[in-house]
Copies of this chain bind each other. A is one copy, B any other.
Amino acid sequence: MKHLTALQDLFQAEVDQLNLGTAPSKLYDPMHYIMQLGGKRLRPILSLMGAGIYGDPSRAMPQAIAIELFHNFSLIHDDIMDAAPLRRGKTTVHKKWNDNVGILSGDGMLVKAYQYLAQCAPAVLPEVLQTFSQTALEVCEGQQMDMDFESMDEVAAATYIQMIQFKTSVLLGCAMKVGALVGGGSKKDADALYQFALLLGTSFQIKDDYLDVYGDPEKFGKQVGGDILSNKKTLLWIEAKRRAAVQNIDFGAYAAMEPNEEKVHSFQELYKILGVDAFAKEQIDHYYQLSLEALDSVEVPAEKLAPLKEFAAWLYSRES
């Protein structure tokens, strides 16, 4: 993944010299703080790769920054809504400062995202804007759906997948499409690339659910079983609940267990008994294959798409 590392370094160098503003400091300091917390930088990398298909990846640097700003804005506000103390192992913005600072600096970041986004040729600006705003709304819809799910008894697997697509995958699609448009790709190419990243992101999110249950604690980075302990409605949980009902297994008894290691083990076993582990793997593969198929509609020489396929394979095989 030499290509990927190079793009990550290119992007990090840009983040290191990012100056979003200085005063009032409580508005701008949190923006720089969260932008420096790191992460895989998947979204901006996709923007740079999108432009890279057609020429110099750094043509999409302002849009890569815009997408990462948007992503981090949503993290600040989500962390307030979830009352989360930690983000990437560091104190969240609203804990380091307070809720008001988190709300307002998040708002400012969203505006900043639009400022960077608009730094492109006027000819592509309307399409870039429309794609981004549509995506941003879907991310809000996905977050509200996620919160709504907490108080719902039944969630269908298809509804769950729509939620994770809105909450997460559409932004990957948007990142890629905007990069392609800014880099000079046709609308048709850009739409196919959107589908590629959307579907890859869907595979990625289901893998996230899977790794939470069956990940290697040494590699996963987060606590394995965290979703189980909090009775989170993941795809495995939802499908297991449905299958348990068919087989007259008392799923409620599992859910009511004390949140400890035994509960995690019990669920790991239950999921295997119900074939939910295999189901999740199938879904991960399914969306991964669909994402690769989407690339067939991109009208460029095959070698131009090699980095994307390498990126997809890397994401598919991830264990953290």
Near B by CB (< 8 A), chain A positions 1-38 give 21, 23-24, 26-27
Quick check: is A80 within 8 A (CB to CB) of the other chain? yes
Quick check: is A114 within 8 A (CB to CB) of the other chain? yes
Quick check: is A42 within 8 A (CB to CB) of the other chain? no
Copies in the complex: 2
Near B by CB (< 8 A), chain A positions 117-165 give 118, 122, 125-126, 129-130, 133-134, 136-137, 140-141, 143-145, 147-148
Whole-angstrom distance between the Cβ of A82 and the nearest chain B Cβ: 9
Measured between alpha carbons, how far is A133 from B26 in the docked complex, in Å?
Answer: 19
Quick check: is A112 within 8 A (CB to CB) of the other chain? yes
Of A103-111, A173-181, A258-266, A296-304, the segment with at least 4 beta carbons within 8 Å of chain B is A103-111
Closest B-chain residue to A142, C-beta based?
B24
Chain B residues positioned under 8 Å from A122 (CB to CB): 122, 125-126
Quick check: is A223 within 8 A (CB to CB) of the other chain? no
Chain A interface extent, by class: 35 or more
| Inter-subunit contact A133/B114 (CB<8 Å) | yes
| Inter-subunit contact B80/A103 (CB<8 Å) | yes
| Inter-subunit contact A24/B145 (CB<8 Å) | yes
| Inter-subunit contact A104/B144 (CB<8 Å) | yes
With A24-B141, A77-B103, A129-B129 given, can you name 15 additional A-B contacts, CB distance below 8 Å?
A26-B148, A27-B141, A81-B103, A104-B143, A104-B147, A107-B110, A108-B140, A110-B111, A111-B136, A111-B137, A114-B114, A115-B133, A118-B130, A118-B133, A125-B126
Q: Which A residues lie at the B interface, using CB under 8 A?
A: 21, 23-24, 26-27, 77, 80-81, 99-100, 103-104, 106-108, 110-112, 114-115, 118, 122, 125-126, 129-130, 133-134, 136-137, 140-141, 143-145, 147-148
